[in-house]
Structure 1
Amino acid sequence: MERRFQGQTDIPLTDTGVAQARRAARLLAALRPDAILASDLTRAVDTANELVALTGLELATDKGLRETYAGQWQGLTNAEIEARFPAQFAAWRRGEPVRRGDGELETEVADRAVAAVTQAVEALPDAGTLVVVSHGGAIRCLIGRMIGLPEDNWGSLGALSNCCWSVLGPGARGWRLLEHNAGTLPEPVLGDEV
């Protein structure tokens, strides 16, 4: 594994990525989504289109769901970044806000991603299901903001594996994280906020 920062570099899915997207689409179609929203980057659109093919829904895209713009780090491996930008890389590894040259802060990613998802949720029928197809870093920022985690704790959500998903649902005090980094259909959770 190269550990390369793709950022907003617009690359297609590999054959492995297509197979992962098809598997995920078969599982997610069982949720009978009401809408599908994706980042406008090719790899997210191609992933979402696997679900579109099974559901017949129209795909909406929003550039607000793009992966973090990684500035000068984009396209580099972790080793290359550490060699070229040692102080920034060390700060990023500690979880500190890092702009990465002319790149984005995680809070900026969260602002644009939450705006995109909020607009799509507001257009859903009551108790409707929205499937959002985005990118690992953007999703982590989106979830962190939506469930009210302090920004310095967003990293505790960890990375999202390719073609895995998280499930958020409404709770008594706002959005709740019901499943994270799942690769199977969610099971109902009984608790104090059902």
Structure 2
Amino acid sequence: MTDSPDARHALRAATAADHERVDRAFSAFDLTTREGYSGFLRAQAHGFLPVEAAIDGAGPHDIVPDWPARRRSQSLLADLDALGVTPPDTASRPLFRSREEILGAIYVLEGSRLGGRMLARSVPADFPRAFIGSSDAGMWRTLIEILDKLLISDEQRTAASDGARSVFALFEAGARQEGTQLGR
């Protein structure tokens, strides 16, 4: 993987198929309807809630000092509450065994923030948008700098890719589960 010019591109290449599956699974949600948007947020919760809790438990502050500012679970829960929707049960959590896996997980969460900015255009203005509307390009740039500084070797990038894949899998499973409940 170190033939890639930087860690971000190495992670993107290593997880491209995972990302594509997640995008396909989430494309089933019509964000212009209350039911579709609610399902979308519940599907997001299947990933965000356990992953952020797992990252918190792994102690990310020494590698991503601004981690608390990156958390979006509370915004997600607030939007679900505003819609009168109960969050899904997410009792099980992934286990991140290394800082590289934590970085891979944060890479996916921050990438979804960027994607959310695009999706927010489809969401009606009267729907709660704290979760999907939270974007900060500076946070993405800072993460890229951290990835490039800390993910140098093939082994480090492989571990980060493994962490990212485990997060993509949670999002995909959540989208499929919630999509099925919507009859899609």
* TM-score, L = length of structure 1: 0.30
Greater Rg by CA: 1
User: Between Structure 1 and Structure 2, which shows a larger proportion of strand residues?
Assistant: 1
Q: Which has the higher contact order (CA 8 A, sep 6+)?
A: 2
* TM-score, L = length of structure 2: 0.31
User: Between Structure 1 and Structure 2, which shows a larger proportion of helix residues?
Assistant: 2
